[in-house]
Amino acid sequence: MSDDCTDARHDLNVLVDVARRLGETFDLDSLLHTIEQAGRSALACERATVFLYDAGRDELHSQVATGTGEIRFSAKLGIAGDAVKTRSVILVGDAYADPRFNREIDRKTGYRTRNLLTLPLVAPDGQIVGVLQVLNKIGGDFTTNDQLLAAALGSLTGVALKRQILLDDAEAKRRLERDLNIAREIQQKLLPKQVPRTPGFDVAGWNRPADQTGGDIFDFFALPDGRLGIMIADATGHGIGPALIVSQCRSVLRAITDSTEPPAELVRRLNDLLCEDLPSDRFVTLCFGILDPAAH
């Protein structure tokens, strides 16, 4: 059997094995580890790193921990950027002789790159989902055959990576939907079910958030001397965060309200307590009053 046939058979076996391993992996971190392991073993190199493509920021970033923190850079820069732009496998025989090579990554990791293959990971819809770089061919230089094998590997891993990203997005949406439903149930339970009897007055309230949970709430509660505390509050934004904030307002205000302090002082105390916990970009618009039936 010729060397070419032997190489082709080897490459086919490698790709079949990679496809099997990718098909058995169903979480992103494990998939990235599998891709990197496949790159190292298939191309006989020392290291392999996947950089995911962030389309919103047009950046590439590492997801798998390297011990030096996340590596993030513009998708327009360096050899990886060229792979994104050209959508082709790039072979560099001498990394430090190539002006596109980013020496800063070697400096951060303490690793010395001699040669490398960089391949774009392209999804079936044609979108770039990442870049795989394999570094330092064991026992020599990367070959043209390595370049062809890398292209096939990139196609396989691009499909698997896109699949996993879609699965993770769908699962994240399901979790968010579940959390929103739970938060909505909690928020609705915090609304007053009955209005305390207030002689001479009809008091009612109704709340319907724009989303499953919102930043709006109202409350009525009876004071020991027969007066009625009334609160309306609106936290910035919509969703779980604002719902939790206004729920906190309700609980704290009920806890600190007594029959002696005027509403303005109670709201001041509430503000001081909330300021200890709320981030600077969050705030609550709140109106609180006390209705005294005996005085009207």
Q: Tell me: the pLDDT tens digits for 18-61? A: 777 777 777 888 888 888 888 898 899 999 999 999 999 999 99
| Same domain assignment for residues 114 and 252 | no
Judge whether 208 lies within some domain: yes
pLDDT, tens only, 181-208? 777 777 777 788 887 888 888 888 887 7
264 domain-assigned = yes
Q: What was the pLDDT predicted at 210?
A: 62
For 91, the 3-state DSSP assignment is: strand
Q: Are residues 123 and 235 in the same domain?
A: no
What is the DSSP track for 17-48? Answer: HHHHHHHT--SHHHHHHHHHHHHHHHHTEEEE
Residues 192 and 161 both lie in one domain: no
Whether residues 143 and 208 fall in one domain: no
Is residue 259 domain-resident?
yes
Same domain as 154, residue 239: no
Counted domains in the chain:
2
Q: Is residue 171 part of a domain?
A: no
Read off the CATH number of the domain in which 277 is found: 3.60.40.10
Domain identity same for 139 and 242: no
Q: Are residues 122 and 74 in the same domain?
A: yes
Helix (H, G, I), strand (E, B) or coil at 144: helix
- Give per-residue pLDDT as tens, 90-149: 999 999 999 999 888 788 888 899 999 999 999 988 899 999 999 999 999 999 999 988
**Which residue stretches of 143-286 are H helix?**
144-190, 240-256, 263-275
Q: Do residue 111 and residue 195 come from a single domain?
A: no
The two structure tokens encoding residue 245 = 């904030």
Domain limits for position 218: 188-295
State the Cα–Cα distance between residues 62 and 65, nearest whole angstrom. 8
The last residue of one of the domains, among 166, 196, 226, is 166
Under a CB-based contact definition with an 8 Å cutoff, are residues 102 and 124 in contact? no
Q: How many C-beta atoms lie closer than 10 Å to residue 127's C-beta?
A: 13
In a domain, 269, yes or no: yes
Determine the Cα–Cα distance for residues 75 and 84; give it in Å rounded to an integer: 7
Inside any domain, residue 180: no
Q: Are residues 140 and 253 in the same domain?
A: no
